[in-house]
Amino acid sequence: MKVIEAIPALPVRDLDKSAAFYRETLGFSVLHQEGGLVVLGLEQIQVHLWLANDERWRTEEHWNPVVSGAETFIAGTGSCRIGLDGVDEMHEKLAPAGIIHPKAPIEDKPWGTREFSVVDPDKNLITYYEWKR
C-alpha cells in the first residue's frame, strides 16, 4: 500500500461566495461544480468545498440537532494546511486582502515550518507553510 494524496473538504454556507473567494483572493481555479460541491485546484493541489446550508436544526425538535450532517453550524469548522515554496511571497500577496488570522501571523514554528494562516468567508482556517531548510 502507498498513500498518495489527501484532499481537504471544507464546509461552507454559500458555495458561490466561497468559490469566488478561493478564485479571486487565493488564486484557485474551479475544476468542477455540481450540486453541493465545488472542486478547486491550485497547481497540483485540490480543495473541495461542500455545502452546509441545512437550517432545519433551528426549528425541528430533536434531542440531537444533527440530522443531515450538512447543518449550517458545521460551516467554518474546517481547516487545511497548504505546503509551498515561497511562504513569504504568499504572505505578501494575501496580506493586503486583510484575511491574515490575527493569532497566526507569519512566523517560524518550533516544529520546523515558517507559516501563517488566513480565514475564508465562513472562517475555515487555511494555513500556508514552508519547511525550513
Asked if the structure places residue 51 within a domain, the reply is yes
86: closest CA among 42, 24, 34, 30?
42
Q: Tell me the mean pLDDT in the region 99-123.
A: 96
Asked if the structure places residue 1 within a domain, the reply is no
Asked if the structure places residue 3 within a domain, the reply is no
CA–CA distance, 99 with 120 (Å, rounded to integer): 8
Least confident of 1-10, 20-29, 34-43, 99-108: 1-10
Q: Give residue 48's pLDDT.
A: 97
Q: Give residue 37's pLDDT.
A: 96
Number of domains in the chain: 1
Question: What pTM does this model have?
Answer: 0.88
Question: Which residue is listed with cell 517560524?
Answer: 108
Asked if the structure places residue 2 within a domain, the reply is no
The CATH number of whichever domain residue 73 belongs to comes to: 3.10.180.10
Asked if the structure places residue 73 within a domain, the reply is yes
Asked if the structure places residue 105 within a domain, the reply is yes
Give φ, ψ of 88 to 5 degrees. -65, -40
Tell me: the pLDDT tens digits for 53-79? 988 877 766 656 666 778 888 898 999
Cell representation of residue 123: 472562517
Tell me: the pLDDT tens digits for 45-54? 999 999 999 8
Q: Give residue 61's pLDDT.
A: 67
CA–CA distance, 39 with 29 (Å, rounded to integer): 9
CA–CA distance, 100 with 85 (Å, rounded to integer): 18
Asked if the structure places residue 75 within a domain, the reply is yes
Residue 13 is part of which domain span?
9-60+68-131
Contact 94, 118 (CB under 8 A): yes
